[in-house]
């Protein structure tokens, strides 16, 4: 049974409202202040949250590779790769490290090596 993207979006938004959004006084890393703060990790690091966001992202992927900066995007690109395999597609994950030593880590599901 396939769940519609609209239903996944609604469920994901409810999870974000409940676990990711905070209202108050926050100092951002830029030094500026904000009364709104969103930390998606409490949602995207759960099985359900990661599945929902990965399936929604996969709907927009038209390539064979998805990429993201380590550490924040690691679960997202990995989730998209897993959901793609379950959907009969092969979208692999590329993780980019922007600290020395600079390198791309390409997780190739078919060749089992790192480039």
- Write out pLDDT tens, residues 10-64: 999 999 999 999 999 999 889 999 999 999 999 999 999 999 999 999 999 999 9
Q: Please, are residues 70 and 78 in contact by the beta-carbon 8 Å criterion?
A: no
Give me the pLDDT at residue 72, please.
85
- What CA–CA distance (Å, rounded) separates 99 from 104? 11
- What CA–CA distance (Å, rounded) separates 115 from 107? 8
Band of pLDDT at residue 104, cut at 50, 70 and 90: low
| pTM of full prediction above 0.75 | yes
61-97 residue pLDDT tens: 999 999 888 888 999 999 999 999 999 999 999 888 7
Using CA atoms, how far residue 23 sits from 9, 33, 35, 107, in Å, is 22, 12, 6, 38
- What CA–CA distance (Å, rounded) separates 34 from 25? 6
Give me the pLDDT at residue 102, please.
59
């Amino acid at each position: 049974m396939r769940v519609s993207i609209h239903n996944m979006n609604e469920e994901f938004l409810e999870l974000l409202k409940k676990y990711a959004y905070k209202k108050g006084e926050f100092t951002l890393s830029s030094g500026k202040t904000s009364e709104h703060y969103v930390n998606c990790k409490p949602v995207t690091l759960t099985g359900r949250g990661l599945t929902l966001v990965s399936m929604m992202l996969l709907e927009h992927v038209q390539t064979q590779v998805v990429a993201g900066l380590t550490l924040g995007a690691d679960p997202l690109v990995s989730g998209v790769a897993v959901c793609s395999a379950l959907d009969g597609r092969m979208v692999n994950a590329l993780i980019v490290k922007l600290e020395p030593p600079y390198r791309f880590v390409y997780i190739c599901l078919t060749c089992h090596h790192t480039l």
